[in-house]
Amino acid sequence: MAKLKINKLVVIGVGLIGGSFALALKRARAVKLVVGVGRTQANLAAALDLGVIDEATHDPALAVEGADLVLLAMPVGQMPAVMRRIAPHLAPETVVTDAGSTKRDVIAYARRHLAGCLAGFVPAHPISGTEKSGAAAAFPDLYKGRNVILAPLKETAPAATRLVRSAWQLCGARVLRLDATEHDSIFAAVSHLPHVVSYALVNALARRRNARQLFGFSAGGLRDTVRIAGSSPEMWTDICIANRDLLLQSLSDYEDELARTRKAIARGDAAQLKRLFEAARSAREKWLVKTR
Amino acid sequence: MAKLKINKLVVIGVGLIGGSFALALKRARAVKLVVGVGRTQANLAAALDLGVIDEATHDPALAVEGADLVLLAMPVGQMPAVMRRIAPHLAPETVVTDAGSTKRDVIAYARRHLAGCLAGFVPAHPISGTEKSGAAAAFPDLYKGRNVILAPLKETAPAATRLVRSAWQLCGARVLRLDATEHDSIFAAVSHLPHVVSYALVNALARRRNARQLFGFSAGGLRDTVRIAGSSPEMWTDICIANRDLLLQSLSDYEDELARTRKAIARGDAAQLKRLFEAARSAREKWLVKTR
């Protein structure tokens, strides 16, 4: 891995994701100046206080002047406006990457709004995060041992991809490549669907008249199952809408599986129900326990 | 709390639940002799090795002779056979309690098979557990700070209820009372439904041709959401069948909620989707974060 030196890093959207990227690169001494761009004064002030960023501004166009690397780390729904705003101010050598959880939509936005700068654009997705958000939640080890997916375009310059790969590797991540559609299909299943499942489970209980009593009797099982229902509603709305075709396919598979389980319960078919539960337990042990 | 002294405790089903109860009472020096009853030699041998029990047998009838307290901690599906087997051997002063996750069915079994011993029968449900099972998973702090529900019958002698309450309090638990139907309705929603949701989510992914690849890309969100899909299939089959009427009601509420979410996604209705996600997040914060 070549020594990486970024003179100016611009993080647009200084939350958990963008803030942790900045902190990790600062700790690695790979960056001189971090400029944070955000909408709310309070969050930018916190980011400055905590040393996540060195300078703050509300204006992305101003921020990207002379930048080596720009990370778009705001909710995907804000991508088109931000891209439109920064495009005229990007130098030819500036590399732009993103941290969006969906890739086909981000690429479509880039083709529309960053048309002249595609050689410097590296679509990416760090597979990490917690249910917390905001600059105060950022920490430099967020990406340690985690996967980061790169989905470079045919127009992307190899040097731009190398820069982004090096930056993520310095954060401790394992960098992989996927085609954008393959990426979106995989994450519809393993990430977007579980969020929908988790939000819906909380709402199904919360709608009941005795919701307070119900939650009072809950134990670790429910708590873990709905942990990700604490995730940012804004971000997850954008993701679900952006990836809706593939998410709806995954949701259908899941609804079919629930219907299969319901039938076994309704028939009192213990043998079939046990087969379903055993299949789930063994799949989880075989595949999931290995991952972190 | 009066000083509790149990000369002979019999634990039928020496797994996580029964084993942890024995270990907690041993640590509190509240029990002289623990006799474990189980089906598999390997688990009983492990329980003896680990000091969870002092004696082991396959025969519940033999075990309960002269017992002060008998804990029925095997899967609920085995209750009728075990109750039938022990009933003729129970002394009038022996107190019998259980740890079943459903209460209406256990009570119905007791009315049929322990008809002469109902004064000594205290239906109970400790709200605890992990996805692990077996005697080797038992530990004395399992019940510390957790709720234990008692659902005594009108026939249950107050002294029997007091004994069982004291024993659970010595395990560090908070003891509460609920009517059996109320209990089953609450736990259908906050425990049985989440298990069905979690098993079904794993199966929906595991059925896909690229299941291995999918799980390889999963992160903490999926892992937490499906943690309880590692739970004992045998135990959860029994629970789902025993409580099927109330579980199916909870499952219907959940399926309605999923359908509501699906509609918002399919319509691309970001405003409605965000409202749903915000409602879930705030309900989780309001009610669930407080509990442990």
CA A229/CA B235 separation, integer angstroms: 27
Instruction: Work out whether strand B124-126 and strand B147-150 pair parallel, antiparallel, or are unpaired.
Output: antiparallel
Alpha-carbon distance of B246 to A163, in angstroms, equals: 56
pLDDT band at B131 (very low <50, low <70, confident <90, very high): low
pLDDT of B2: 53
DSSP B135: G
> How far, in Å, CA of A265 to CA of B242, rounded?
9
- Residue B292: pLDDT band (50, 70, 90) is very low
DSSP label at residue A36: E
Which residues in chain B have their CB less than 8 angstroms from residue A209's CB? none
Task: Tell me the residue type at B157.
Answer: A
- Among B178, B199, B223, the domain-final residue is B178
My answer on whether A207 and A152 are in the same domain is no
Size of interface A-B (CB pairs under 8 A): 312
Partner-chain contact B251 A240, CB within 8 Å: no
Residues B222 and B260 in one domain: yes
Q: Give the DSSP H/E element, type plus range, for residue A196.
A: helix A193-206
User: Do A38 and A82 belong to one domain?
Assistant: yes
User: How far apart are alpha carbons A137 and B209 in whole angstroms?
Assistant: 37
Q: Residue B250: its chain A contacts at CB < 8 A? A: 204
Q: Which residues of B touch A129 (CB under 8 A)?
A: 219-221
Residue B60: closest CA among B48, B70, B75, B45: B70
Tell me B173's DSSP state. Answer: P
DSSP state of A114: S
A187 shares a domain with A173: no
pLDDT score at B289: 65
* Residue B255 and residue B124 share a domain: no
ipTM > 0.90, yes or no: no
Q: Is the pLDDT of residue B84 over 70?
A: yes
CB–CB of B237 and A189 under 8 A? no
Q: Is the pLDDT of residue B250 over 50?
A: yes
Cβ within 8 Å, pair A287-B212? yes
Same domain, B186 and B264: yes
Contact (Cβ atoms closer than 8 angstroms) between residue B163 and residue B95: yes
Domain CATH code at residue A105: 3.40.50.720
**Nearest CA-CA distance, residue A89 and chain B, Å:** 31
- Does A1 reside within a domain? no
Q: What letter would DSSP give residue A197? A: H
Q: What is the pLDDT of residue A292?
A: 44
- Picking from A217, A258, A289, the nearest residue to B190 by CB comes out as A217
Lowest mean pLDDT among B97-106, B175-184, B222-231: B222-231
Select from B178, B205, B237 the last residue of a domain.
B178
Per-residue pLDDT, B237: 95
DSSP secondary structure letters along A96-149: EEE--S-SHHHHHHHHHHSGGGGGGEE-EEE----S--SGGG--TTTTTT-EEE
Is there a single domain that holds both residue B172 and residue B191?
no
| A104-113 helix and A79-86 helix, angle to the nearest 10 degrees | 30
Q: Which residues lie across from A43 on neighbouring strands?
A: none
Shared-domain flag, residues A140 and A36: yes
Residue of A202, A246, A248 to mutate when probing chain B, most B C-beta within 10 A: A202
Number of folded domains that form chain B:
2
DSSP label of B89: G
Q: Cα B253–A188–A259 angle (5° rounding)?
A: 35
Residue A178: how many other CB atoms lie within 10 Å? 19
Name the minimum distance, in Å, from the CA of B117 to any CA of chain A: 30
For residue A290, the model assigns a pLDDT of: 62
Give the model's pLDDT for residue A11. 98
Same structural domain, A151 and A275: no
Same structural domain for residues B157 and B204?
Answer: no
Residues A100 and A171 in one domain: yes
**Residue, of B22 and B131, whose pLDDT is higher:** B22
Q: Where does a domain end: B157, B178, B199?
A: B178
Q: Is A256 domain-assigned?
A: yes
Residue with tokens 């109902």: B118
Same structural domain, A135 and A229: no
Residues of chain A with pLDDT under 50: 292
We report the CATH number of the domain holding residue A188 as 1.10.3660.10
By the 8 A CB rule, do A17 and A47 touch?
no
Average pLDDT, chain B: 94
Asked if the structure places residue B1 within a domain, the reply is no
CB atoms within 10 A of CB A272: 16
Which chain A residue is nearest to residue B198, measuring alpha carbons? A225
Per the CB < 8 Å rule, is A277 touching B199?
A: yes
Range of the domain at B259: 182-288
